Structure 1
Amino acid sequence: MSGPSGPPIVSVTGGADGIEARYTDIEHLAALFDDAGDGLRHDAWEDKALAINGDLLESSILSPGSFADAEGAVIAATVGPHGLAFRAVGMEADALSMQVSVGLLRASDDLARQAMEVLDYGAGYLLGASLPLLGLAGLLGGTALILGNPALAAYLAAHPEARDALLDGAVEDLEGFLEDHPDLVQHLVNGGGGLIDGLLGDLPPAVREALLDELGLDPFHGTTNDAAGDLAGLFGDTEVSVTPGAVDPRDLSAPGSLEQLLDNLGLTNTGADGEIDIQRIGEGDDARYIVNLPGTDSWDDDAGDARDLTGNLQLVAGQDTAYTRGIMEAMAAAGIPPGAPVMLVGHSQGGMAAAHLAADPDFQGGYDVQHVVTAGSPTAQVPHIPSNTQVLSLENSGDLVPLTDGEDNPDEPNRTTVVFDGRTGSIGENHSMDTYSAGGAAVDASDDPSINHALDALREDGFLGSDDSTSTQSYTIAREP
């Protein structure tokens, strides 16, 4: 699938035309068949009563032949082999067959998912247990290569540019391999719990127990989410502060398309660390609010950034973060009234935070969260989002970040995931906002039913294509020292 503009679309899952939506349609059809069968059976017994109608019985004396014909016709039409009761049983049998089929299909899907979880955990465990030996073998092999070839060692020492080129070539080869094998990366990440357990399990029992006690780690991590939560606990958490952001707020126009919506998010992304934008479209009771949420600013957990490594680990584990708490404080400071229509738009960690908030009953209770749009964000760790919220997730097939949840996004009628082929040869560029804006253009041009339903809903709710006035407020979210 591809449109006249933007990179080609590789796959579309979930949404109005997804598998779960079709399962739900079959269940609705089964319910209609079951109700119709109940109605026919009721009518059959009501009509069968005509056979013992007093007037009809009295007519048997005057005209035995016609009475017999009438009795036969009533019986045939109601409880006969082609009558209402027979058809009622057939319709109810069809309803039961559809319900059982959907149940079996869902059970099969769940069984396959659980089997893959077990396989990925086992692969991760074996890798974790083998890493010390693999690392030693790699070190010895590299040392042997250099010692066994003194001329090469001397040349690299005298020509650092050659050494750098060799390293650059190795990095480029690695980037190309990861781009071409995203499924492998996803399975490796999904085995993260097993990897941690394998590393710990290879230690002497006394050392292992002492380390678990000292760090406060659990002895078993069944999933990557469990491992992320345990690791996040090592860094701790702090309070958050929210202050007005840019002195000159970014002038974000009302987006006319998904590409323009992501362009606006790209502008927010150029702000200072921790900044978010809250855009109001319309006035008074008709106002809608778009909250733009950029991704990770720093991998240094001592820098005071709310968008850091700790936040990523906490979100994968399904925990609140300084960032999500700061977003809620910023929305309150912006004066968004309770129950107002809201759309959360996030890149990378910003999309993770958006999905997390959309699944939070307290957050949903404060606002009418109508839409979430994510770009390059792992969101499968959020298993369910209320049906009143439509989620549109964009993932670049060459981007490793959306794979760090270890699983595909859930296939739900209100969650549409679009994977496009925007590979650039660079891991960083594959994750950039420019790449995702181009992906937005491809989505705008698509004729896929699930995509069209998602975009139509964005337009109907006034978040795309509005000519209403707009204003933007910026806020900076930071960890307290």
Structure 2
Amino acid sequence: MRAAIAQAAALTSRLRHGLAAIHRAELVPHAPPLGAVEQALRAAISTAERLHDGLTRAVERYSAASRDANGLFDALAGVGGALLGTQLRMGALFGGPALVLGALAGIAGGEALTGRKLDPAALARFLEQHPQLTGNPTFVAAVRGVADGMDEGMLTAAGVPPVIAVALGATGRTGMATSADALMAIGPRLGLLEESPVDVQRVDRQRVDTAPSGATQRLERVPEGDQVRIERYTAPGSPDRFVVYVGPTETFDPRPEGEPWDMASNVGGVGGEDVASIRATELAMRDAGITDASQVQLVGFSQGGMVAARIAADGDWNAVGLQTFGAPSGNVVLPDGVQGMAVRNREDFIPALAGPQTDHHLLQVERTVYADPSTMPTDQAAPGHQRVAYAATAQAIDAARSEDVRAQSRALDDFAGDYARRPGSTITASLYHAVRRDGSGG
């Protein structure tokens, strides 16, 4: 729509130049009469101006309607969460504390209800068997609503009157952080979602020939297995620049194991807590030579995008660029001046786990991957969140005609490319692997 407005403005400008040219021509002696042409141009200018004004009003009305719809959706989610919390509290009062404890344990994995150890593969199997469900944009919206209403639900379950819980949610005094804090407080009592110290080791360092160009190449450099990759760009006479790539979740097991990129980091990170994956990334950054003055660009996929966004929002680092793919980071408020974009597939419910999009400093890019639902893979869990789906979206970004998208892509490219093109410059890539200390919570 913005492109259409720009085209209408450009057309109006060209028509006015043509009218001015006619006036100049009429000043030339013996020039033929151009009155009919002038009338036609004036009519065309009037039409173009009406088109421009109409498109502008349409965008304003769409934006207002979108804000109103999002506000209504948030309000309904809050009311629904408050009602659910009330029902949960009623169960506690009349059914005994064991009922609530059993329900919480069931939500966490079912161990307290079944007496069996949690089987994370069961969730993966369910997602694999129901890709049309998890990849449906309606399901994504439902997940966002559930995430948005969790804080009201937990407050009313704790005894806060529903009206007050909804009012607190509406004022922004509660939110995903409230819900995540509650889960992180309850989880360790069930042997789940426990935090621990982390150790980080550099496992590889090598020279690189070129800087990434485009979203596709940036996504390709996001690691897996070894969770963090840091590229150091040096150029004679200039301070070093760094690009930090952060990988996705490595395990969905909520029990404390050796992997920092786990469910504890997912839940706590969405809530804004200082989780293991964020601490490990920052340890790697310090080892790579990044200081609070160093200019840093961050790129992350899935949990890695959430980690990247949290670090970019942290005042301890000089983050100037950010690109995330499928990240649950919509509730992270970024400072002014961070260039880049947050990329989401409409079939991906993972970003919805952070609730509604609250930050608007970063360019928000959404794309429908499977316009024809019949083409959605049936052998993948959450197909809209798969790396191959985001690779296709990254390619679409690189081919985009939107000036907003192209401007942000250029800014991300130039951050590293500017140094890489200078004589005498070097690029060094370091790969880091992190583990939870002693392989357990603490």
Shorter-chain TM-score bucket reads 0.5 to 0.7
Partner of 2:135 in structure 1? 179
Pair 1:179–1:108, CA change in 2 (3 A): closer
Give distance in 1, aligned partners of 2:398 and 2:355: 28
Q: Is 1:476 aligned to 2:433, yes or no? A: yes
> SS in structure 2 opposite 1:395?
strand
Deviation at 1:108, TM superposition (A): 9.5
Aligned to 1:191, the other structure's residue is in SS state: helix
Query: What is the aligned residue count?
Result: 319
Give, in angstroms, the shift of residue 376 of structure 1: 0.5
Counterparts of 2:125 and 2:199 in 1: how far apart (Å)? 43
Distance 1:405 1:241, change over 3 A: same
Contact 1:260–1:437 under 8 Å retained in 2: no
Aligned to 1:329: 283
**3-state SS of paired residue (2:353):** helix
2:345 alignment partner in structure 1: 396
Q: Do the aligned partners of 1:123 and 1:191 also contact (CA within 8 Å) in 2?
A: yes
**8 Å Cα contact 1:225/1:381 also seen in 2:** no
Q: Distance in 1 between matches of 2:65 and 2:348?
A: 29
For residues 80-479 of structure 1, the aligned pairs below 5 Å read 115-127=72-84, 174-180=130-136, 181=138, 182-197=140-155, 222-234=174-186, 235=188, 236-246=194-204, 253-265=210-222, 268-269=223-224, 271-272=225-226, 275-284=227-236, 285=238, 287-300=240-253, 301-363=255-317, 367=318, 369-382=319-332, 384-412=333-361, 415-423=362-370, 424-425=376-377, 426-463=380-417, 466-467=420-421, 469-479=426-436
Amino acid paired to 1:255: P
Residue 135 of structure 2 aligns to a residue in which SS? Answer: helix
Find the aligned partners of 1:420 and 1:298 in 2 and give their Cα distance. Answer: 27
CA distance in 2: counterparts of 1:453 and 1:319, whole angstroms: 33
| 8 Å contact from structure 1 (residues 288, 463) kept in 2 | no
Any conservation in 1 of the 2:206–2:429 contact (CA below 8 Å)?
A: yes
Alpha carbons 2:350, 2:385 under 8 Å: kept? yes
CA contact (8 A) 2:323 2:340 kept: yes
Deviation of residue 410 (structure 1)?
Answer: 2.6
Contact 2:234 2:419 in 1 (8 A): no
In structure 2, what is the Cα distance between the partners aligned to 1:317 and 1:334? 28
**1:454 to partner: Cα distance:** 0.4
SS at match of 1:403: helix
Question: Partners in 1 of 2:429 and 2:127 — Cα distance?
Answer: 41
**Contact 1:128-1:195 within 8 A present in 2 as well:** yes
What is the identity, as a one-letter code, of the residue corresponding to 1:393? A
Instruction: Say which SS state the counterpart of residue 346 (structure 1) adopts.
Output: strand
Deviations 1:72-102 (A, max 9, x none): xxxxxxxxxxxxxxxxxxxxxxxxxxxxxxx
Q: Please list every run of 5 or more consecutive structure 1 residues that lacks an aligned counterpart in the other structure.
A: 1-11, 19-104, 134-166, 203-220
User: What is the identity percentage for the equivalent residue pairs of Structure 1 and Structure 2?
Assistant: 25
1:336-368 Cα distance to aligned partner (Å, 9 max, x none):
3552221111111111111111111122xxx3x
Deviation at 1:117, TM superposition (A): 3.0
Q: Write the deviation string for residues 39-63 of structure 1: whole angstroms up to 9, x where unpaired.
A: xxxxxxxxxxxxxxxxxxxxxxxxx
Secondary structure, aligned partner of 2:289: coil
Rg (Cα) greater in structure:
1
Residue pair 1:254, 1:466 contacting (<8 A) in 2 also: yes
Letter of the 2:274 partner, please give it.
Answer: D
Report the Cα distance in structure 2 between the residues aligned to 1:107 and 1:398, rounded to whole angstroms.
24
Inter-partner Cα distance in structure 2 for 1:262 and 1:169? 27
Report the Cα distance in structure 2 between the residues aligned to 1:379 and 1:336, rounded to whole angstroms: 23
Measured against aligned partners, the alpha-carbon deviations of 1:99-154 in whole angstroms (never above 9, x if no partner) come to xxxxxx99998776555433202212334566899xxxxxxxxxxxxxxxxxxxxx
Is the alpha carbon distance of 1:191 and 1:241 closer, same or farther for their aligned partners in structure 2, counting shifts above 3 Å?
same
Higher RCO (Cα < 8 Å, 6 or more apart): 1
Kept in 2: contact 1:458–1:464 (CA 8 A): no
Aligned partners of 1:427, 1:170: CA distance in 2, in Å?
Answer: 8
CA distance in 1, matches of 2:125, 2:303: 30
Q: Which runs of 5+ in 2 are unaligned?
A: 4-61, 92-122, 161-172, 189-193, 371-375
| SS of equivalent residue, structure 1 residue 378 | coil
CA gap of 1:340–1:171, structure 2 versus 1, over 3 A, is: closer
- Could you tell me the TM-score, scaled by structure 1's length? 0.58
Offset, 1:379: 1.4
